[in-house]
Structure 1
Amino acid sequence: MALAPENTLPSFRLAEQIGVHELEFDVRLTADGIAIVLHDATLDRTAADESGRGLGPVADLTYKQIRAVDVGDGNHVPTFEEVLDATTVSLQVEIKAGEVAEQLAHVVSARPADAERIRFTSFQPEALRRMRELAPDISRGLITMGYPDRERHPGGIEAVLAETGASAFYCGWDGLTEELVSRMHDAGYEMGAWPVRSVDDVRRGLELGFNGGTVDDPRAGCDWLAQAIAEAAH
Protein backbone atom coordinates (compact mmCIF):
# COMPACT_ATOMS: atom_id res chain seq x y z
CA MET A 1 0.00 0.00 0.00
CA ALA A 2 2.99 2.34 0.28
CA LEU A 3 3.66 2.10 -3.46
CA ALA A 4 0.24 1.57 -5.10
CA PRO A 5 -3.42 1.67 -4.06
CA GLU A 6 -3.81 -1.01 -1.39
CA ASN A 7 -5.46 -4.33 -2.10
CA THR A 8 -5.57 -3.73 -5.86
CA LEU A 9 -4.22 -5.90 -8.67
CA PRO A 10 -1.47 -3.39 -9.60
CA SER A 11 -0.24 -3.35 -5.99
CA PHE A 12 0.03 -7.14 -5.93
CA ARG A 13 1.75 -7.30 -9.32
CA LEU A 14 4.23 -4.62 -8.26
CA ALA A 15 5.03 -6.47 -5.03
CA GLU A 16 5.78 -9.62 -7.03
CA GLN A 17 8.02 -7.65 -9.41
CA ILE A 18 9.93 -6.28 -6.43
CA GLY A 19 10.55 -9.82 -5.24
CA VAL A 20 8.30 -10.65 -2.30
CA HIS A 21 7.85 -14.31 -1.41
CA GLU A 22 4.27 -13.95 -0.21
CA LEU A 23 1.33 -11.56 -0.39
CA GLU A 24 -1.05 -10.81 2.47
CA PHE A 25 -4.54 -9.43 1.88
CA ASP A 26 -8.00 -9.31 3.44
CA VAL A 27 -11.26 -10.86 2.26
CA ARG A 28 -14.91 -9.98 2.84
CA LEU A 29 -18.27 -10.97 1.33
CA THR A 30 -20.61 -8.79 -0.72
CA ALA A 31 -24.39 -8.82 -0.39
CA ASP A 32 -24.62 -11.01 -3.49
CA GLY A 33 -22.10 -13.57 -2.25
CA ILE A 34 -18.85 -12.51 -3.94
CA ALA A 35 -15.56 -12.82 -2.06
CA ILE A 36 -13.76 -9.48 -2.41
CA VAL A 37 -10.34 -8.24 -1.37
CA LEU A 38 -10.78 -5.29 0.99
CA HIS A 39 -9.42 -4.44 4.42
CA ASP A 40 -12.15 -2.20 5.84
CA ALA A 41 -15.83 -2.94 6.35
CA THR A 42 -16.67 0.12 4.21
CA LEU A 43 -15.15 1.96 1.25
CA ASP A 44 -14.98 5.27 3.12
CA ARG A 45 -11.18 5.26 3.63
CA THR A 46 -10.02 3.79 0.34
CA ALA A 47 -12.44 5.39 -2.15
CA ALA A 48 -10.60 7.86 -4.35
CA ASP A 49 -13.43 10.41 -4.33
CA GLU A 50 -16.67 11.26 -2.54
CA SER A 51 -18.78 9.08 -4.83
CA GLY A 52 -17.49 5.96 -3.08
CA ARG A 53 -17.91 7.22 0.46
CA GLY A 54 -20.90 6.93 2.71
CA LEU A 55 -22.25 3.87 0.91
CA GLY A 56 -22.34 1.85 4.11
CA PRO A 57 -20.96 -1.63 4.84
CA VAL A 58 -19.76 -3.57 1.82
CA ALA A 59 -21.66 -6.55 3.23
CA ASP A 60 -24.84 -4.65 2.28
CA LEU A 61 -23.68 -3.77 -1.25
CA THR A 62 -23.62 -5.84 -4.43
CA TYR A 63 -20.34 -6.39 -6.17
CA LYS A 64 -21.56 -4.26 -9.09
CA GLN A 65 -21.96 -1.34 -6.68
CA ILE A 66 -18.56 -1.95 -5.13
CA ARG A 67 -16.77 -2.43 -8.45
CA ALA A 68 -18.04 0.94 -9.67
CA VAL A 69 -15.99 2.72 -6.97
CA ASP A 70 -12.53 4.03 -7.89
CA VAL A 71 -10.13 2.99 -5.11
CA GLY A 72 -7.16 4.81 -6.57
CA ASP A 73 -5.65 5.41 -10.02
CA GLY A 74 -8.81 4.08 -11.66
CA ASN A 75 -8.61 0.70 -9.95
CA HIS A 76 -11.54 -1.26 -8.52
CA VAL A 77 -11.91 -3.59 -5.56
CA PRO A 78 -10.87 -7.00 -6.94
CA THR A 79 -12.52 -10.31 -6.29
CA PHE A 80 -10.63 -13.12 -4.59
CA GLU A 81 -10.60 -14.99 -7.89
CA GLU A 82 -9.15 -12.01 -9.75
CA VAL A 83 -6.28 -11.90 -7.28
CA LEU A 84 -5.66 -15.62 -7.77
CA ASP A 85 -5.55 -15.03 -11.53
CA ALA A 86 -3.15 -12.10 -11.20
CA THR A 87 -0.59 -13.58 -8.78
CA THR A 88 1.87 -16.47 -8.61
CA VAL A 89 3.47 -16.34 -5.14
CA SER A 90 2.18 -17.74 -1.85
CA LEU A 91 -0.85 -16.00 -0.35
CA GLN A 92 -1.91 -15.17 3.18
CA VAL A 93 -5.66 -14.71 2.90
CA GLU A 94 -6.91 -12.94 6.01
CA ILE A 95 -10.58 -13.49 6.77
CA LYS A 96 -12.05 -10.23 8.03
CA ALA A 97 -15.68 -11.39 8.00
CA GLY A 98 -16.60 -14.95 8.92
CA GLU A 99 -19.51 -15.09 6.50
CA VAL A 100 -17.06 -15.28 3.58
CA ALA A 101 -15.89 -18.76 4.61
CA GLU A 102 -18.26 -20.77 2.43
CA GLN A 103 -17.44 -18.76 -0.68
CA LEU A 104 -13.71 -19.07 -0.07
CA ALA A 105 -14.07 -22.83 0.25
CA HIS A 106 -16.09 -22.91 -2.97
CA VAL A 107 -13.43 -20.99 -4.88
CA VAL A 108 -10.45 -23.03 -3.69
CA SER A 109 -12.23 -26.33 -4.29
CA ALA A 110 -12.49 -25.38 -7.97
CA ARG A 111 -8.84 -24.28 -8.15
CA PRO A 112 -6.65 -27.06 -6.69
CA ALA A 113 -3.47 -25.67 -8.24
CA ASP A 114 -3.97 -22.36 -6.40
CA ALA A 115 -5.00 -24.09 -3.18
CA GLU A 116 -1.42 -25.24 -2.63
CA ARG A 117 -0.16 -21.65 -2.29
CA ILE A 118 -2.90 -20.37 0.03
CA ARG A 119 -3.00 -20.07 3.78
CA PHE A 120 -6.17 -18.78 5.43
CA THR A 121 -5.49 -16.51 8.41
CA SER A 122 -7.61 -14.57 10.86
CA PHE A 123 -7.77 -12.86 14.22
CA GLN A 124 -11.02 -14.80 14.69
CA PRO A 125 -10.66 -18.41 15.92
CA GLU A 126 -14.20 -19.16 14.79
CA ALA A 127 -13.28 -18.26 11.19
CA LEU A 128 -10.33 -20.64 11.29
CA ARG A 129 -12.44 -23.39 12.81
CA ARG A 130 -14.95 -22.93 10.00
CA MET A 131 -12.25 -23.11 7.35
CA ARG A 132 -10.93 -26.27 8.96
CA GLU A 133 -14.36 -27.79 8.42
CA LEU A 134 -14.89 -26.45 4.89
CA ALA A 135 -11.38 -26.66 3.43
CA PRO A 136 -9.35 -28.91 5.73
CA ASP A 137 -6.48 -29.31 3.27
CA ILE A 138 -5.72 -25.57 3.17
CA SER A 139 -3.30 -24.46 5.88
CA ARG A 140 -4.37 -21.95 8.51
CA GLY A 141 -2.69 -19.28 10.63
CA LEU A 142 -3.75 -17.37 13.73
CA ILE A 143 -3.08 -13.64 13.99
CA THR A 144 -2.84 -11.89 17.37
CA MET A 145 -2.01 -8.40 18.59
CA GLY A 146 0.76 -9.89 20.74
CA TYR A 147 1.44 -12.60 23.28
CA PRO A 148 -0.34 -13.82 25.36
CA ASP A 149 -3.28 -11.56 24.29
CA ARG A 150 -5.31 -12.85 27.25
CA GLU A 151 -8.30 -10.57 26.66
CA ARG A 152 -8.97 -12.15 23.26
CA HIS A 153 -7.73 -15.63 24.16
CA PRO A 154 -8.29 -16.31 27.86
CA GLY A 155 -7.72 -20.02 27.33
CA GLY A 156 -4.28 -19.41 25.86
CA ILE A 157 -3.01 -18.95 22.33
CA GLU A 158 -1.57 -22.45 22.22
CA ALA A 159 -5.05 -23.88 22.81
CA VAL A 160 -6.46 -21.82 19.93
CA LEU A 161 -3.67 -22.93 17.61
CA ALA A 162 -4.39 -26.56 18.46
CA GLU A 163 -8.18 -26.41 18.13
CA THR A 164 -8.08 -24.56 14.82
CA GLY A 165 -5.45 -26.88 13.37
CA ALA A 166 -3.26 -23.88 12.57
CA SER A 167 0.24 -24.34 11.20
CA ALA A 168 1.36 -20.72 11.63
CA PHE A 169 1.24 -18.01 14.28
CA TYR A 170 1.42 -14.35 13.21
CA CYS A 171 2.10 -12.25 16.28
CA GLY A 172 2.37 -8.54 16.98
CA TRP A 173 5.60 -7.52 18.69
CA ASP A 174 4.20 -7.15 22.21
CA GLY A 175 5.39 -9.92 24.53
CA LEU A 176 7.59 -11.70 22.01
CA THR A 177 10.73 -13.43 23.22
CA GLU A 178 13.32 -15.73 21.70
CA GLU A 179 12.15 -18.46 24.08
CA LEU A 180 8.56 -18.16 22.85
CA VAL A 181 9.56 -18.29 19.18
CA SER A 182 11.80 -21.29 19.82
CA ARG A 183 9.01 -23.07 21.70
CA MET A 184 6.54 -22.42 18.89
CA HIS A 185 9.01 -23.69 16.31
CA ASP A 186 9.60 -26.81 18.38
CA ALA A 187 5.83 -27.36 18.41
CA GLY A 188 5.81 -27.21 14.61
CA TYR A 189 4.45 -23.71 14.01
CA GLU A 190 5.80 -21.13 11.56
CA MET A 191 6.19 -17.71 13.15
CA GLY A 192 5.53 -14.36 11.51
CA ALA A 193 5.89 -10.83 12.89
CA TRP A 194 3.82 -7.76 12.14
CA PRO A 195 4.04 -4.94 11.38
CA VAL A 196 7.57 -4.64 9.98
CA ARG A 197 8.24 -0.93 9.56
CA SER A 198 12.00 -0.48 9.85
CA VAL A 199 15.33 -2.23 9.50
CA ASP A 200 15.33 -2.50 13.30
CA ASP A 201 12.17 -4.61 13.10
CA VAL A 202 13.87 -6.88 10.56
CA ARG A 203 16.95 -7.19 12.78
CA ARG A 204 14.77 -8.14 15.72
CA GLY A 205 12.82 -10.63 13.64
CA LEU A 206 16.01 -12.33 12.51
CA GLU A 207 17.34 -12.43 16.06
CA LEU A 208 14.12 -13.99 17.29
CA GLY A 209 14.12 -16.54 14.48
CA PHE A 210 10.97 -15.51 12.62
CA ASN A 211 10.04 -17.15 9.33
CA GLY A 212 8.82 -13.82 7.92
CA GLY A 213 6.94 -10.60 8.46
CA THR A 214 4.49 -8.27 6.73
CA VAL A 215 5.38 -4.85 5.33
CA ASP A 216 3.43 -2.04 3.67
CA ASP A 217 6.42 -1.13 1.48
CA PRO A 218 7.87 -4.27 -0.14
CA ARG A 219 10.77 -2.41 -1.78
CA ALA A 220 11.89 -1.04 1.58
CA GLY A 221 11.29 -4.43 3.19
CA CYS A 222 13.58 -6.19 0.74
CA ASP A 223 16.26 -3.53 1.28
CA TRP A 224 15.96 -3.84 5.06
CA LEU A 225 16.27 -7.60 4.86
CA ALA A 226 19.37 -7.42 2.64
CA GLN A 227 20.93 -4.87 5.00
CA ALA A 228 20.20 -6.90 8.12
CA ILE A 229 21.54 -10.12 6.59
CA ALA A 230 24.71 -8.33 5.43
CA GLU A 231 25.23 -6.89 8.93
CA ALA A 232 24.78 -10.31 10.51
CA ALA A 233 27.39 -11.81 8.18
CA HIS A 234 30.12 -9.45 9.39
Structure 2
Amino acid sequence: MTTPRTFVLAGHRGNMAAAPENTLLSFASAESVGVDEIELDVQLTRDDALVVIHDRTVERTAATSTPHLRTPIEDLTLEQIRSIDLGQSQRIPTLDEVLDSTTALLRVEIKALAAARPLAALLSQRPEHDQARCIVTSFSSLSLADFVAANPGLQRGVGLHVPNTDSNWRDEVNRIGASTVLMPFRELTRDLVDEIHQDGLRVEASLIEGPADVRTILELDVDASASNAPGYARDLLTASDEFTTRFPSFVQPATIM
Protein backbone atom coordinates (compact mmCIF):
# COMPACT_ATOMS: atom_id res chain seq x y z
CA MET A 1 0.00 0.00 0.00
CA THR A 2 1.31 3.46 -0.85
CA THR A 3 1.44 6.31 1.64
CA PRO A 4 -0.21 8.69 2.15
CA ARG A 5 -3.44 6.84 1.42
CA THR A 6 -7.00 8.03 0.98
CA PHE A 7 -9.43 7.37 3.82
CA VAL A 8 -13.12 6.97 2.92
CA LEU A 9 -15.88 7.91 5.36
CA ALA A 10 -19.25 6.38 4.49
CA GLY A 11 -22.66 7.45 5.68
CA HIS A 12 -24.33 4.23 6.83
CA ARG A 13 -27.69 4.16 5.02
CA GLY A 14 -27.11 7.86 4.45
CA ASN A 15 -27.33 10.06 7.53
CA MET A 16 -29.47 8.04 9.93
CA ALA A 17 -28.96 10.65 12.65
CA ALA A 18 -30.92 13.22 10.65
CA ALA A 19 -33.38 11.39 8.38
CA PRO A 20 -35.11 8.05 7.79
CA GLU A 21 -32.51 5.52 6.68
CA ASN A 22 -32.01 4.60 3.02
CA THR A 23 -34.06 7.53 1.72
CA LEU A 24 -33.27 10.36 -0.67
CA LEU A 25 -33.44 12.78 2.26
CA SER A 26 -30.95 10.69 4.24
CA PHE A 27 -28.57 10.54 1.29
CA ALA A 28 -28.83 14.28 0.65
CA SER A 29 -28.15 14.95 4.32
CA ALA A 30 -25.10 12.65 4.21
CA GLU A 31 -23.68 14.55 1.26
CA SER A 32 -24.34 17.87 2.99
CA VAL A 33 -22.18 16.87 5.99
CA GLY A 34 -19.31 15.82 3.75
CA VAL A 35 -19.33 12.04 3.42
CA ASP A 36 -17.02 10.51 0.85
CA GLU A 37 -19.32 7.56 0.25
CA ILE A 38 -22.95 6.60 0.85
CA GLU A 39 -23.70 3.04 1.97
CA LEU A 40 -27.07 1.65 0.90
CA ASP A 41 -28.89 -1.65 0.48
CA VAL A 42 -30.75 -3.06 -2.52
CA GLN A 43 -33.48 -5.64 -2.89
CA LEU A 44 -35.73 -6.73 -5.77
CA THR A 45 -39.50 -6.26 -5.89
CA ARG A 46 -42.01 -8.72 -7.33
CA ASP A 47 -42.02 -6.77 -10.59
CA ASP A 48 -38.20 -6.66 -10.77
CA ALA A 49 -37.52 -3.13 -9.55
CA LEU A 50 -34.31 -2.55 -7.60
CA VAL A 51 -35.32 -0.68 -4.46
CA VAL A 52 -33.20 0.68 -1.63
CA ILE A 53 -34.10 -0.90 1.70
CA HIS A 54 -32.18 -2.84 4.33
CA ASP A 55 -34.74 -5.19 5.89
CA ARG A 56 -36.77 -7.86 4.13
CA THR A 57 -39.95 -6.12 5.35
CA VAL A 58 -40.87 -2.56 6.37
CA GLU A 59 -42.01 -3.58 9.86
CA ARG A 60 -39.09 -1.74 11.50
CA THR A 61 -38.90 1.31 9.22
CA ALA A 62 -42.48 2.21 8.21
CA ALA A 63 -43.67 5.36 10.00
CA THR A 64 -47.38 4.57 9.72
CA SER A 65 -49.56 1.49 9.63
CA THR A 66 -49.65 -0.28 6.28
CA PRO A 67 -51.16 -3.56 5.03
CA HIS A 68 -47.65 -4.35 3.73
CA LEU A 69 -45.99 -4.11 7.14
CA ARG A 70 -44.82 -7.74 7.27
CA THR A 71 -44.91 -8.63 3.58
CA PRO A 72 -41.47 -9.50 2.16
CA ILE A 73 -40.14 -6.98 -0.33
CA GLU A 74 -39.90 -9.66 -3.02
CA ASP A 75 -43.67 -10.16 -2.76
CA LEU A 76 -44.52 -6.48 -3.24
CA THR A 77 -44.74 -4.48 -6.44
CA LEU A 78 -43.02 -1.14 -6.86
CA GLU A 79 -46.41 0.57 -6.69
CA GLN A 80 -47.11 -1.09 -3.34
CA ILE A 81 -43.64 -0.16 -2.11
CA ARG A 82 -44.31 3.47 -3.09
CA SER A 83 -47.36 3.57 -0.82
CA ILE A 84 -45.29 3.02 2.34
CA ASP A 85 -44.59 6.10 4.46
CA LEU A 86 -41.13 6.17 6.05
CA GLY A 87 -41.61 9.51 7.78
CA GLN A 88 -40.55 13.06 6.85
CA SER A 89 -42.42 12.66 3.54
CA GLN A 90 -40.02 9.93 2.45
CA ARG A 91 -40.72 6.82 0.39
CA ILE A 92 -38.53 3.85 -0.50
CA PRO A 93 -36.44 4.98 -3.50
CA THR A 94 -35.30 2.98 -6.48
CA LEU A 95 -31.58 2.62 -7.08
CA ASP A 96 -31.94 4.60 -10.31
CA GLU A 97 -33.37 7.51 -8.30
CA VAL A 98 -30.45 7.37 -5.89
CA LEU A 99 -27.94 7.35 -8.73
CA ASP A 100 -29.72 10.30 -10.32
CA SER A 101 -29.83 12.38 -7.13
CA THR A 102 -26.37 11.82 -5.61
CA THR A 103 -22.77 12.61 -6.55
CA ALA A 104 -20.79 10.83 -3.81
CA LEU A 105 -19.16 7.45 -4.08
CA LEU A 106 -21.70 4.67 -3.46
CA ARG A 107 -21.38 1.37 -1.61
CA VAL A 108 -24.25 -0.80 -2.82
CA GLU A 109 -24.92 -3.83 -0.64
CA ILE A 110 -26.82 -6.75 -2.15
CA LYS A 111 -29.33 -7.95 0.46
CA ALA A 112 -30.98 -10.70 -1.64
CA LEU A 113 -29.38 -13.11 -4.11
CA ALA A 114 -32.13 -12.39 -6.66
CA ALA A 115 -30.94 -8.77 -6.86
CA ALA A 116 -27.37 -9.57 -7.95
CA ARG A 117 -27.82 -9.97 -11.70
CA PRO A 118 -30.46 -7.22 -12.05
CA LEU A 119 -28.02 -4.91 -10.25
CA ALA A 120 -25.27 -5.87 -12.68
CA ALA A 121 -27.60 -5.15 -15.59
CA LEU A 122 -28.73 -1.80 -14.18
CA LEU A 123 -25.20 -0.57 -13.55
CA SER A 124 -24.08 -1.63 -17.01
CA GLN A 125 -26.77 0.66 -18.45
CA ARG A 126 -25.79 3.67 -16.35
CA PRO A 127 -23.30 6.34 -17.48
CA GLU A 128 -19.64 5.44 -16.98
CA HIS A 129 -19.32 7.98 -14.19
CA ASP A 130 -22.03 6.23 -12.17
CA GLN A 131 -20.43 2.83 -12.72
CA ALA A 132 -17.06 4.23 -11.66
CA ARG A 133 -18.31 5.54 -8.32
CA CYS A 134 -19.93 2.29 -7.18
CA ILE A 135 -18.52 -0.59 -5.21
CA VAL A 136 -20.85 -3.58 -4.75
CA THR A 137 -20.74 -5.50 -1.47
CA SER A 138 -22.52 -8.36 0.24
CA PHE A 139 -22.31 -10.79 3.12
CA SER A 140 -23.06 -13.47 0.51
CA SER A 141 -20.18 -14.59 -1.67
CA LEU A 142 -22.77 -16.27 -3.91
CA SER A 143 -24.43 -12.90 -4.55
CA LEU A 144 -21.09 -11.33 -5.37
CA ALA A 145 -20.11 -14.21 -7.64
CA ASP A 146 -23.41 -13.79 -9.53
CA PHE A 147 -22.81 -10.05 -9.82
CA VAL A 148 -19.22 -10.44 -11.05
CA ALA A 149 -20.28 -13.08 -13.59
CA ALA A 150 -22.69 -10.57 -15.10
CA ASN A 151 -20.58 -7.41 -14.64
CA PRO A 152 -16.88 -8.25 -14.19
CA GLY A 153 -15.47 -4.81 -14.97
CA LEU A 154 -16.67 -2.56 -12.15
CA GLN A 155 -13.85 -0.08 -11.53
CA ARG A 156 -14.06 -0.11 -7.71
CA GLY A 157 -14.72 -3.84 -7.68
CA VAL A 158 -16.64 -5.78 -5.07
CA GLY A 159 -16.32 -6.12 -1.31
CA LEU A 160 -17.07 -9.07 0.96
CA HIS A 161 -18.53 -8.47 4.42
CA VAL A 162 -16.87 -10.78 6.95
CA PRO A 163 -18.79 -10.71 10.26
CA ASN A 164 -16.31 -13.07 11.89
CA THR A 165 -13.00 -14.61 10.94
CA ASP A 166 -13.95 -18.20 11.83
CA SER A 167 -15.00 -18.89 8.24
CA ASN A 168 -13.23 -19.62 4.97
CA TRP A 169 -13.46 -15.95 4.05
CA ARG A 170 -10.02 -15.86 2.44
CA ASP A 171 -11.07 -18.52 -0.07
CA GLU A 172 -14.27 -16.61 -0.80
CA VAL A 173 -12.37 -13.33 -1.29
CA ASN A 174 -10.00 -15.02 -3.73
CA ARG A 175 -12.79 -16.81 -5.58
CA ILE A 176 -14.79 -13.67 -6.30
CA GLY A 177 -11.75 -11.44 -6.79
CA ALA A 178 -12.80 -8.94 -4.13
CA SER A 179 -11.08 -5.59 -3.89
CA THR A 180 -12.21 -4.83 -0.33
CA VAL A 181 -12.82 -6.74 2.90
CA LEU A 182 -15.33 -5.26 5.34
CA MET A 183 -15.11 -6.34 8.99
CA PRO A 184 -16.20 -5.14 12.43
CA PHE A 185 -13.45 -3.52 14.48
CA ARG A 186 -13.56 -6.40 16.96
CA GLU A 187 -12.50 -8.92 14.30
CA LEU A 188 -9.38 -7.04 13.25
CA THR A 189 -5.83 -6.88 14.49
CA ARG A 190 -3.02 -4.83 13.02
CA ASP A 191 -1.29 -8.00 11.86
CA LEU A 192 -4.43 -9.12 10.01
CA VAL A 193 -4.88 -5.71 8.39
CA ASP A 194 -1.24 -5.75 7.29
CA GLU A 195 -1.73 -9.21 5.77
CA ILE A 196 -4.83 -8.08 3.88
CA HIS A 197 -3.00 -4.99 2.62
CA GLN A 198 -0.11 -7.17 1.46
CA ASP A 199 -2.63 -9.09 -0.65
CA GLY A 200 -3.51 -5.81 -2.36
CA LEU A 201 -6.91 -5.40 -0.72
CA ARG A 202 -8.54 -2.50 1.09
CA VAL A 203 -9.94 -2.91 4.60
CA GLU A 204 -13.07 -1.22 5.90
CA ALA A 205 -14.01 -1.45 9.59
CA SER A 206 -17.17 -0.16 11.25
CA LEU A 207 -18.83 1.62 12.88
CA ILE A 208 -17.49 4.99 14.08
CA GLU A 209 -19.50 5.77 17.20
CA GLY A 210 -17.14 7.79 19.38
CA PRO A 211 -13.61 9.17 19.88
CA ALA A 212 -12.16 5.76 20.76
CA ASP A 213 -12.98 4.53 17.27
CA VAL A 214 -10.66 7.16 15.75
CA ARG A 215 -7.81 5.77 17.84
CA THR A 216 -8.75 2.24 16.73
CA ILE A 217 -8.73 3.29 13.05
CA LEU A 218 -5.19 4.61 13.48
CA GLU A 219 -3.99 1.59 15.43
CA LEU A 220 -5.39 -0.83 12.86
CA ASP A 221 -4.47 1.34 9.83
CA VAL A 222 -7.74 0.61 7.98
CA ASP A 223 -8.78 2.39 4.79
CA ALA A 224 -12.42 3.22 5.43
CA SER A 225 -15.21 3.23 7.96
CA ALA A 226 -18.89 4.11 8.18
CA SER A 227 -21.07 5.92 10.68
CA ASN A 228 -24.77 6.33 11.46
CA ALA A 229 -23.93 9.97 12.28
CA PRO A 230 -21.39 10.84 9.58
CA GLY A 231 -21.23 14.56 10.40
CA TYR A 232 -20.19 13.73 13.96
CA ALA A 233 -17.74 11.11 12.67
CA ARG A 234 -16.13 13.58 10.25
CA ASP A 235 -15.70 16.09 13.06
CA LEU A 236 -14.01 13.44 15.21
CA LEU A 237 -11.65 12.46 12.42
CA THR A 238 -10.67 15.97 11.37
CA ALA A 239 -10.09 16.95 15.02
CA SER A 240 -7.35 14.32 15.28
CA ASP A 241 -3.95 15.67 14.22
CA GLU A 242 -2.62 12.13 14.00
CA PHE A 243 -5.45 11.14 11.66
CA THR A 244 -5.11 14.14 9.34
CA THR A 245 -1.35 13.64 9.21
CA ARG A 246 -1.87 9.99 8.29
CA PHE A 247 -4.63 10.79 5.77
CA PRO A 248 -3.94 14.37 4.59
CA SER A 249 -6.38 14.19 1.68
CA PHE A 250 -9.30 13.54 4.03
CA VAL A 251 -10.03 17.26 4.34
CA GLN A 252 -11.39 17.06 0.80
CA PRO A 253 -14.21 14.72 -0.33
CA ALA A 254 -12.96 11.49 -1.89
CA THR A 255 -12.84 11.25 -5.67
CA ILE A 256 -13.40 8.20 -7.82
CA MET A 257 -10.46 5.88 -7.33
TM range (shorter): over 0.9
Match of residue 6, structure 1, among 16, 21, 27: 21
Secondary structure of the equivalent of 1:64?
Answer: helix
Residue 193 (structure 2) pairs with residue 190 (structure 1): no
For residue 25 of structure 1, what is the aligned residue in structure 2? 40
Query: Structure 1-normalised TM-score?
Result: 0.93
Contact kept, 8 Å, 2:105 with 2:133, in 1: the verdict is yes
Contact kept, 8 Å, 1:184 with 1:190, in 2: the verdict is yes
Summarize deviations over 1:33-55 as a string: whole Å, max 9, x none: 00000000001111011126534
Residue 96 (structure 2) pairs with residue 101 (structure 1): no
Contact kept, 8 Å, 2:237 with 2:244, in 1: the verdict is no
Measured in 2, the distance between the counterparts of 1:208 and 1:55 equals 40
Match of residue 140, structure 2, among 78, 100, 124: 124
Q: Which amino acid aligns with 2:47?
A: D
Summarize deviations over 1:137-171 as a string: whole Å, max 9, x none: 1210001113x1x2xx3xx2211110011000010
Contact kept, 8 Å, 2:238 with 2:244, in 1: the verdict is no
Identity of paired residues, percent?
A: 37
Could you tell me how far 1:131 is from its partner in structure 2?
A: 0.9
Query: Structure 2-normalised TM-score?
Result: 0.85
Match of residue 39, structure 1, among 49, 54, 76: 54
- Provide the aligned C-alpha RMSD in A: 1.5
Contact kept, 8 Å, 1:47 with 1:53, in 2: the verdict is no
Structure 2: gaps of 5 or more residues: 1-15, 246-257
Secondary structure of the equivalent of 1:142?
Answer: strand
For residue 12 of structure 2, what is the aligned residue in structure 1? none
Summarize deviations over 1:160-216 as a string: whole Å, max 9, x none: 110011000010122311111011111100000012211211220122111110100
Match of residue 237, structure 2, among 213, 225, 231: 225
For residue 92 of structure 2, what is the aligned residue in structure 1? 77
For residue 160 of structure 1, what is the aligned residue in structure 2? 172
Contact kept, 8 Å, 1:26 with 1:94, in 2: the verdict is yes
Residue 183 (structure 2) pairs with residue 171 (structure 1): yes
Q: Which amino acid aligns with 2:144?
A: L
Structure 1: gaps of 5 or more residues: none
Could you tell me how far 1:133 is from its partner in structure 2?
A: 0.2
Residue 226 (structure 2) pairs with residue 208 (structure 1): no
Could you tell me how far 1:227 is from its partner in structure 2?
A: 2.3
Contact kept, 8 Å, 2:136 with 2:159, in 1: the verdict is yes
Over 3 Å counting, the alpha-carbon distance change for 1:177 and 1:4 in structure 2 is: same
Could you tell me how far 1:230 is from its partner in structure 2?
A: 5.4
Match of residue 159, structure 2, among 141, 153, 173: 141
Could you tell me how far 1:63 is from its partner in structure 2?
A: 0.6
